[in-house]
Amino acid sequence: MPGAMPRDDALRHVARRERCAILVIDVQNDFCAVGGAFDREGRSLRDIRAMLPALARFLQSARQAGVPVLYMKHEQSSSRLSPLVRERDRLLFGDGGYPAAGTWGADVCPEVSPAPGEPLLAKTFYSAFSNPDLVRLLAAHKVETLVFAGVLTNVCVETSLRDADTRDYHSVLVSDCTASDVPELYRATLANVEGYFGWVCTSDELLALWNERKGNHDR
């Protein structure tokens, strides 16, 4: 697009370590683990399971670079939903729902569990911003750029990223630290984000930027 900053320069600008926080979305047993709800339904865990080691490495390195990490988890709770939303969910998905609060399925996968002191917020809707505590935490950390990781890329991750766009945050989606059970939908989200909402990059790209800047500050 005429006048646009080159992609690498723009990413370097918006992804400065001191501006960022990582938002890890819904990496829970029901969505990611063998024996969880997705697995029992016969949905593919191949890409989701393959993503987890990369996410674990990324989070560990980001913590060492001093980047805040925040977690969201989805919890099904019909008592928190209006009658209309309960009707919609029943018509779309049938009875039941998951993950239920307090169950193994709702727990964050142990491979990527929060470090001591890292916030873990619950949500009932797709968007992470449906929990108002998120905005307060981001303000406390003076966050301007949200770095998105987790599952499903095309559902809760994309919904949260779109919501971030309406709330004046820069958004970066980490391609090797998000996943979906449907590869075509994963790729569609990446294309949509790059085209309209923010930046898509790998964890290695971000860590190189953060470690470079950390080294500069340390000198």
User: What's the pLDDT tens digit per position in 2-48?
Assistant: 678 899 999 999 999 999 999 999 999 999 999 999 999 999 999 99
pTM, entire model? 0.92
Confidence of residue 219 (pLDDT cuts 50, 70, 90): very low
Q: In CATH terms, is domain 7-218 a member of 3.40.50.850?
A: yes
Average pLDDT over residues 110-114: 97
- Amino acid identity at 73: K
Number of H helices, E strands in the chain: 9, 6
Encoded amino acid at 61, one letter: S
Predicted local distance difference test score (pLDDT) of residue 96: 63
Domain boundaries, the chain: 7-218
Residue 77, both tokens: 């709770």
**What gap in Å lies between CA 7 and CA 176, rounded to an integer?**
18
Tens of pLDDT, residues 205-217: 999 999 986 655 5
Mean residue pLDDT across the chain: 92
Q: What is the model's pLDDT at position 1?
A: 57
pLDDT at residue 84 above 80? no
The burial of 132, by beta-carbon neighbours within 10 Å (0-12 exposed, 13-18 middle, 19 or more buried), is given as exposed
Q: What is the DSSP string of 114-171?
A: PPTT--EEEESSSSGGGSTHHHHHHHHTT--EEEEEEE-IIIIIHHHHHHHHHTT-EE
